Structure 1
Amino acid sequence: MRTLRHILFAAAATCAALASPAAAERVRDLGAFQSVRGNQLTGYGIVVGLDGTGDDNFAYTAEAMRGVTNRLGFQLPPGVNPALRNAAAVMITADLPAFAKPGQRIDITVSAIGRARSLRGGALIMSPLYGADGQIYAMAQGSLAVGGLGVTGRDGSSLTVNVPTVGRIPEGATVERGVAVAFETQPLLRWNLFQADFLTISRVRDAINSRLPGAASVEDGATLALALPAGADLRAGLMAEIEMLDVNPAEAAARVVVNSRTGTVVISSAVRLAPAAISHGSLVVRVEETPRVVQPEPFGNGRTAVEEDSAVSIEEEGSRVALFEPGASLAEVVDALNMLGTTPSDLVAILEALKQAGSLKAEMLVI
């Protein structure tokens, strides 16, 4: 009896845990302030020092090399096209974090845009990085760290591991100009949900107003307007407090996601089914051909021939019917489909049929 009581107590605790609402999440995990974000930077440059794996007279590389030598005070003779097997034209990308200041360093990614086979062992010559407004925000330079490897034999055979034409330079760019945020002087600060939801945005508003009465108001399904006192020091403290508030987000919408390339099917816990019956089975048709060679009798006038012998059979594997009661849950759906022995492709077909019949109360996304 004591063991039985322990088992019942454990079962009751498990049921209570499963029935409890989802844990609260911090405001900072649900969204972000509109003015506090990073910016993308891009640039064009030359990687030198390659071991014969460069572009080899690629026109853009030659022009870029002329620009580099001109900046250094050396001009190539007109009409001379340098052989550039040891150099490669590259695109440079980087993310400029919010509040980045001149002198700070950021990571950059370098990608070949020409016929270079590998950037391993190369060094990037000083190149400017531009923002969307066309202004220079950082200068990039340094030795590349390439994780890929490419080897080519004299007979044309080759072996490639990962991608040898893309590399990174940790802290390879120096910030020359920061992006003005001016969050301390804006009349209203705006906070945006990562995923729009009216119930979640209302709960975030209520949580903020319980801490700062009247500070937050809803603008739409994803945006809150925050009226906070001016001043960088005061606003930074209030924004930090707001980000650490706990909020219970709304339950995710009922959704079925199908990856048509891999056959992966993901069903959210909010999916429900109206009354429906599903029958699933397979019809197998087998055709077996066993030709036989027929030989003529000795000293006869006949010829050797092939006699066809076909055997056709039809088998229908065991078909089962699953009945769903009103409001069937995800667990019941999965158990029933497993009982039917469905494969991922069959599951997609069944879900599409349920959607067309109006029994599947969920949004279907095919990616």
Structure 2
Amino acid sequence: MKKLLALLMAGVFALSLMPGTAAAESAATRIKDIAKVQGVRSNQLMGYGLVVGLNGTGDGNKSTETIQSIVNMLKSFGVVIDQSTLKAKNVAAVVVTATLPPFVREGDTIDITSSSIGDAKSIQGGTLLQTPLRAGNGTVYAVAQGPVSTGGFAAGNGGNTATKNFPTVGTTPNGAIVERSVEDEIGGSGRISLSLREPDFTTAARIANAINSQYGNVAQASNPGRIDITIPAYFRNNVVGFVSTIEELPVMPDNIAKVVVNERTGTIVMGGDVSVDEIAITQGGLSIKVQKNANANQPDPFSYGTTIVTRNTDVDVQEDKASTIVLPATANVSDIVGALNAVGATPRDTISILQAIKAAGALHAELQIM
């Protein structure tokens, strides 16, 4: 049972008490770290383009989309060629992706990522040709172009090859120029709303109370994920300053009691509000040991016999006497740690015990296994 007790305890250990285990407790934090202003968001952009200048590592002639794209591009410059004679080993078709941050203006630059969609072996050292980047509504918001950096390589010949990172994906810092901005109007109606990153009734109420204690009755928690705020009259012309002061207000966020177990690494993290009812845990230790021994049988001298090797298998089974420990009802994790810290247990044993306690209905927390 000692092992069992230790199991439960291991889940609650603080990092200082047991490696690989931590106990989480809520701490005062700024509102900006747990909530954001509604309407302030990024937008995803995507485009189709060509990377040229490759050293024979581009798409092959079987990539018809690449061939057709090259033909269409040259035609736009007044160059007409026979598609059947075109070689595409120095060109790769790519999908270009980027994220348009909020409040960017025309002329600003953003980073882009180019990913091969054909059979190119590498786009290292290539240059992305001018590629329009569109949002989900089909509108072009940026134009990308520039050298591609993969941060890796692919080298070799025949069956002997060496690859580092992913040479078919590359980035271009500041590779796209913003051509159209997204207007983000904040507080134009005299109101703003905060969105919680982790919706919670208690946390939303605490945020509203913290804002009201500072500015009067201007905030209301409409639901667990949103707080509506009326901008005071003296801040109507300084919405940015008002939001800045709100973001710096300290709040104690609340979380549901949860136990998170990573079965691969043996890491167990428990929240500070986890409680356990009175429970008895019994575990018997069963040990099975199997040994193989090789024995050589020698013939008598001058008997013309041969040496024979025999293999014997010995099986030893031991079962330790099971022990039972009664764990009294506890109000918090500290009590569990104090009761079980003296007993050692492996992470796998701990996980088994936590699952058993949860199944028995004695663990008042959400058990999440990763």
- Secondary structure of the 2:84 match is coil
User: Is 1:255 paired with 2:250?
Assistant: no
1:135 pairs, out of 111, 121, 139, with 139
- Output one character per residue of 1:239-263: Cα deviation in whole Å (capped at 9) or x when no partner: 222222222222x321111234444
Aligned to 1:360: 363
Deviation at 1:287, TM superposition (A): 3.2
User: Is 1:267 paired with 2:264?
Assistant: no
Aligned to 1:164: 167
- Secondary structure of the 1:207 match is helix
- More moved, 220-229 vs 180-189: 180-189
Check conservation: 1:284, 1:315, Cα contact below 8 A.
yes
2:73 pairs, out of 62, 65, 68, with 68
- Secondary structure of the 1:342 match is coil
1:92 pairs, out of 92, 96, 101, with 96
AA aligned opposite 1:358? G
- More moved, 254-263 vs 51-60: 254-263
Check conservation: 2:218, 2:232, Cα contact below 8 A.
no
User: Is 1:30 paired with 2:1?
Assistant: no
Partners of 1:353 and 1:24 in 2: CA distance: 34
User: Is 1:330 paired with 2:333?
Assistant: yes
Unmatched segments (≥5 aa) in structure 1: 1-20
User: Is 1:41 paired with 2:11?
Assistant: no
- Secondary structure of the 1:199 match is helix
User: Is 1:350 paired with 2:353?
Assistant: yes
After TM superposition, the structure 1 = structure 2 runs for residues 1-367 of structure 1, keeping only pairs within 5 Å, are 23-57=27-61, 58-77=63-82, 79-80=83-84, 82-152=86-156, 154-186=157-189, 188-228=191-231, 233-250=237-254, 252-280=255-283, 282-290=285-293, 309-316=312-319, 321-327=324-330, 329-331=332-334, 333=336, 340-367=343-370
Identity %: 38
Q: Check 1:140–1:321 CA distance in 2 against 1; reply closer, same or farther (3 A cut).
A: farther
- Secondary structure of the 1:92 match is strand
- Secondary structure of the 2:223 match is coil
- Output one character per residue of 1:313-355: Cα deviation in whole Å (capped at 9) or x when no partner: 1124686655422116435545766655432222221111110
Aligned to 2:12: none
AA aligned opposite 2:78? G
RMSD: 3.0
Partners of 2:267 and 2:117 in 1: CA distance: 34
Partners of 1:66 and 1:188 in 2: CA distance: 53
- Structure of greater relative contact order (alpha carbons < 8 Å, 6+ residues apart): 2
- Secondary structure of the 1:288 match is strand
- Secondary structure of the 2:73 match is helix
Query: Normalization by structure 2: what TM-score?
Result: 0.82
Check conservation: 2:193, 2:227, Cα contact below 8 A.
yes
Deviation at 1:56, TM superposition (A): 1.5
Aligned to 1:13: none
Partners of 2:110 and 2:327 in 1: CA distance: 56
Partners of 1:224 and 1:309 in 2: CA distance: 75
Partners of 1:314 and 1:24 in 2: CA distance: 54
- Output one character per residue of 1:278-335: Cα deviation in whole Å (capped at 9) or x when no partner: 34454222233446576888999x9998866442211246866554221164355457
Deviation at 1:64, TM superposition (A): 2.1
- Output one character per residue of 1:144-197: Cα deviation in whole Å (capped at 9) or x when no partner: 122112212x34111112222221111100001111223242354221011111
- More moved, 333-342 vs 56-65: 333-342
- More moved, 41-50 vs 334-343: 334-343
- Secondary structure of the 1:80 match is helix
Query: Normalization by structure 1: what TM-score?
Result: 0.83
Partners of 1:76 and 1:229 in 2: CA distance: 67
Deviation at 1:34, TM superposition (A): 0.9
